[in-house]
Structure 1
Amino acid sequence: MNSQPTSAASQCSTAFHWKVTLLCLLTFPVLMALGFWQLDRAEQKRAREAALDAVRTQPPATLPGTDLAAIEEQRRLLLQGHYLTGRNWLLDNRQRDGQVGYEVITPFELSDGRILLVNRGWVAAG
């Protein structure tokens, strides 16, 4: 007597394993590529943070007196001029620590007549 099963359940089981194997073989390279992409993004973020730390250690740039286009992002500034009071803008729907509020933006006129917009901070909505 032959004791090897030749039933439909055995054929279905073999077909099922073949499909799972194919799915894994197709999915694995995609997941590997996503993993390397994440590692690349982490390295980009570390490089950006190092560049920002280097800029933050520099002394403040003085305005007027420095070309605005030459100033790096996150560089501290020493401004000479005055705020244009009564012309504040409130940016609505800003959140901090789960609380809704506003960002306060005020124009600042430099002593040479140029105007900059300064973010003066956040206030809670009342």
Structure 2
Amino acid sequence: MAEAARPPRRGRALVAGAALLVALVLLLSLGTWQVKRLHWKEALLVQMTERRAMPPATLGEIEAMAARGEDIEYRPLRVEGVFENDRERHFFATWQGRSGYNIYTPLQLADGRHLFVNRGFVPFDRKEPETREEGRLAGERTVVGLARARLAEKPSSLVPDNDLAKNIFYWKDLDAMALSTGIDAGRLVPLFIDADDTPNPGGLPIGGVTPLDLPNNHLQYAVTWYGLALALVAVSGAYLWRRKR
């Protein structure tokens, strides 16, 4: 009875052939996707290099670009204003192998609006402002850095939720930042600026922390997927050749 219940040899061969075809298509699709990602990443790196070489724009020019639907990421920007140091927000970050926080401080502009500035990195034990009093800049300041667009939503479900009570953020939720600081959301500039590496008094925060050396491993991933597809074809061909012999 058990022998009779087995599917015919031809049926088993069709099932195996279909599974082989699905696996081959999947591997080729993954390889092709990585090739597309490679072209995208290379274009992004070129774009970042070109933009960083541009002279700093004014905030008005950056806002006009954003209003036209243009990409403002990594465009040099110069702004003037007064830091509201008592409203700084702390974002979990790593810098050169160390863990700590990036300090985002609202800069009050001449028109009364606020722009959050990523002033840079501080180690875990320097989170509290009292431990780095020298770096809390007072008076009118000029900030030069790179424009960064706001995020529409949390980038991934794997990213933890922001802890407003402890002032620990994991992603740039501009509305939450406004709520936790008491700043009117309508008076916030809807973008950020990452300050350059101009040294701060006392050495903290450490500026110039924008990730610019983005990893680009898509070529080796593509070679891996295509290599697996080739290996699958070779193994299957060898098996069929041996069966025929």
**Equivalence for 1:122:** 121
**Equivalence for 1:10:** none
**Equivalence for 2:100:** 101
The one-letter amino acid of 1:34's match is L
Which structure's CA Rg is the greater one? 1
**Equivalence for 1:88:** 88
The one-letter amino acid of 2:88's match is N
The one-letter amino acid of 1:81's match is G
1:90-121 per-position Cα deviation (integer Å, ceiling 9, x unaligned): 12x32234432111110101222221000011
CA shift in 2, pair 1:23/1:67, >3 Å: closer
**Equivalence for 1:79:** 79
CA shift in 2, pair 1:67/1:24, >3 Å: closer
Instruction: Flag as ranges the 4+ runs of structure 1 deviating above 4 A.
Output: 17-22
The separation in 2 between residues aligned to 1:96 and 1:54, in whole angstroms, is 24
The one-letter amino acid of 1:44's match is W
The alignment's C-alpha RMSD in Å is: 2.8
The separation in 1 between residues aligned to 2:100 and 2:116, in whole angstroms, is 19
| SS of residue paired to 2:39 | helix
Q: Percent identity, aligned pairs only? A: 34
Moved more, 66-75 or 29-38: 66-75
The separation in 1 between residues aligned to 2:25 and 2:44, in whole angstroms, is 29
The one-letter amino acid of 1:124's match is P
The separation in 1 between residues aligned to 2:62 and 2:46, in whole angstroms, is 24
| SS of residue paired to 2:31 | helix
Unaligned runs of 5+ in 2: 1-8, 67-71, 126-245
How far is the alpha carbon of 1:49 from its aligned partner?
Answer: 1.7
Unaligned runs of 5+ in 1: 1-13
| SS of residue paired to 1:27 | helix
Question: By percentage of residues, which structure has more strand?
Answer: 1
The separation in 1 between residues aligned to 2:98 and 2:36, in whole angstroms, is 34
The separation in 1 between residues aligned to 2:103 and 2:24, in whole angstroms, is 49
CA shift in 2, pair 1:57/1:112, >3 Å: same
Q: Greater relative contact order (Cα 8 A, min sep 6): structure 1 or 2?
A: 2
The separation in 2 between residues aligned to 1:44 and 1:103, in whole angstroms, is 28
Question: By percentage of residues, which structure has more helix?
Answer: 2
